[in-house]
Amino acid sequence: MEQLGLAPAVGMSGACTVSGLFSHVGDPFLDDPLPREYVLYLRPTGPLAQKLSDFWQQSKQICGKNKAHNIFPHITLCQFFMCEDSKADALGEALQATVSRWRGKFSVPLPLELYTSSNFIGLFVEEASADVLKKFAADFAAEAASKTEVHVEPHKKQLHVTLAYHFQANHLPTLEKLAQSIDVKLGCDWLAAIFSRDIRFANHETLQVIYPYTPQNDDELELVPGDFIFMSPVEQASTSEGWVYGTSLTTGGSGLLPENYITKADECSTWVFHSSYSILNASSSNALPFGDGILDRRSYEDQGLGEMAPLTIVCPPSQPLRAGSQPGPQKRCLFVCRHGERMDVVFGKYWLSQCFDAKGRYVRTNLNMPQSLPQRSGGFRDYEKDAPITVFGCMQARLVGEALLESNTTIDHIYCSPSLRCVQTAHNILKGLQQENHLKIRVEPGLFEWTKWVAGNTLPAWIPPSELAAANLSVDTTYRPHLGAGAESISSLRELGPEEQGRKDIYNRNNILIVAHASSLEACTCQLQGLSPQNSKDFVQMVRKIPYLGFCSCEELGETGIWQLRDPPILPLTHGPTGGFNWRETLLQD
């Protein structure tokens, strides 16, 4: 296991599983005895730890992720230092001996003081107590040098718990208010804990796989959900758009992978926990609090989850929240969904020539094409800029509606872009919800996508609501739109048109579902959360990652007027595109 560049946690089995070894068959670092980097942190437990965890979650949901979220709440007692894996046990013994000498010499509770600046918020340890902690860290450094011959550099700067840094300037008042609600005098124990990380990936971005991927070419990397990927910024310059180059934590293999199959993870997600000892409570050792993705072996096995793998940090999976099924007052939620699979994307921009004869009559030429299409007063050529969805697109939408129904999610009103693909998607979601005869779709021209993305920068000739209703689509023909169409910039797109009162009328209702375009998931929630607009490049890159039926959920915190993104009440929907199948070309032999 030392040859893998990975360290066993103290108190855990040192044997590597057979499947773990086989997964590293192609690992180029298999025989490279690279040492790991170790660090000593002081971690809170008890009521204060819960308050810090609440701050972590609330600040992330309201203001988005900042640099502090990469690592759990802690006080740094020493810098990262190198140590051979064979000496990991000795490090734990050094920590245990040091804690035994110093236990009872620390202030209870540890005095902390809130400090804020324009780009940093933290809880600083009062100077006299900080001096005691620094002497403790220096004693550990001496003990570690005696037992392992490693050099440990104690932290010389002011000791503190970082709450937030590298955040947007307009988020400072909100973060300050959240930080001020933390009662630093709450009961708390502190654990001196040793962690380690793989030195090869110290400066890499940590990503987590969310969808499986089977390589199509030799230079691509297989993806398994739950695995972590390390991505070096230096290696991204030569990659194609939509692809990144990364290295798998599980196998050690490297290669190209699709960017929309992974998501950002916390830096500490792949760290190994070795040992911890309470500096205040003599009965507490080798235990870490739940809720931050790290579990000690005893707690893991006591829950009946089996034997904990010696090489793995265990991250409990997040469960989808059930909107409308939780006790307490009803919360206002905004759901935003992208439309289903488009005909012109699946069958190409010349699909009209396949599907309409010389007299303009629709002819179905593929099972994934709808059996019929609505008549258009301007003729079938209007479909060039306003394409319908495929049969699969209808099925996708039905699945989303059925999932919403199963999760007991209540939809009070549904608003929709005037694009036919969005109206058809909304209609099929209502069918899945079994609400097509009760809820009617309110068509809002202001929900149409950025017109810079439309050929000729001109608006399509949309089918009027009366004609959509005549085509058996669940459209409200009495509804009068609030929002004007024709957003010519990203900022105006994000504002959903100039009518401020129109936005308020929409958002001031209970649970709202908006069915529109990929850009709508950000455009309809960014301003609601009080976030600053992204630049056009980042905005476009974000939009490209949103799949058909991409779904997000934004929830108001009580009656505060503050909104936050949260886990949707339904699971994500993934499907793979397939090419057309011609049996003659494939099976017919000459």
Q: Does domain 34-198 have CATH number 3.90.1140.10?
A: yes
Strands 112-116 and 189-198: unpaired
* Number of residues in the chain: 590
Structure-block tokens of residue 247? 């290295």
Buried b (16+ CB within 10 A) or exposed e, 487-515: beebebbbbbbebeebbeebbeeebbbbb
Structure confidence at residue 457 (pLDDT): 60
Strand partners, 414: 441, 513
> Known catalytic residue: 517?
yes
Preceding omega of 109 cis (within 30 degrees of 0): yes
Cβ distance 395 to 478 under 8 Å?
A: no
**DSSP 3-state assignment of 418?**
coil
Catalytic-role residue among 24, 69, 274, 517: 517
pTM for the whole thing?
0.48
Q: Which structure tokens are listed for 95?
A: 């920590």
Q: Which two tokens stand for residue 348?
A: 């190409």
pLDDT string in tens for the chain (590-residue length): 322 233 333 333 233 333 333 334 444 444 455 678 999 999 998 888 888 988 988 898 888 888 898 898 999 999 999 998 888 899 999 999 999 999 888 888 899 999 999 889 999 999 999 999 999 999 999 999 999 999 999 998 899 999 999 898 899 999 999 999 999 888 788 999 999 998 888 788 899 998 899 999 888 999 998 899 998 877 666 566 788 899 998 888 899 999 889 988 888 888 988 888 888 764 444 444 333 333 333 333 333 323 333 322 223 333 333 333 343 345 688 999 999 999 998 888 889 988 998 888 999 999 999 999 998 988 999 999 899 999 999 999 999 999 999 998 989 899 999 999 999 999 999 999 999 888 999 999 888 876 555 555 678 899 999 999 999 999 999 998 876 654 433 344 344 433 444 555 555 667 899 999 988 888 888 877 777 777 777 777 777 888 899 999 988 876 666 788 888 899 888 876 555 556 656 555 55
CATH number of 333-566: 3.40.50.1240
Contacts of 219 (CB under 8 A, 6+ apart): 255, 256
Intrachain domains 34-198 and 333-566 with the same fold: no
Q: HSE on the CB side for 396, CA within 13 Å? A: 28
Q: Alpha-carbon distance 55 to 505, whole Å?
A: 32
Q: Give the three-class secondary structure for 213.
A: strand
**Which of 197, 204, 338, 342 is an active site residue?**
338
Per-domain boundaries in the chain:
34-198, 333-566
Per-residue pLDDT at 483: 66
CB 524 within 8 A of CB 334: yes
For the chain, the farthest-separated pair of C-alpha atoms sits apart, in whole angstroms, at: 93
Output the pLDDT for position 534: 72
| Residue 6 to residue 82: CA distance in whole angstroms | 13
Beta strand pairing call for 228-231 and 75-76: unpaired
Measured from the Cβ of residue 536, the count of other Cβ atoms closer than 10 Å reads 13
Q: Which residues pair with 41 in a beta bridge?
A: 76, 193
Q: Please pick, among 155, 339, 398, 427, the residue that the annotation labels catalytic.
A: 339
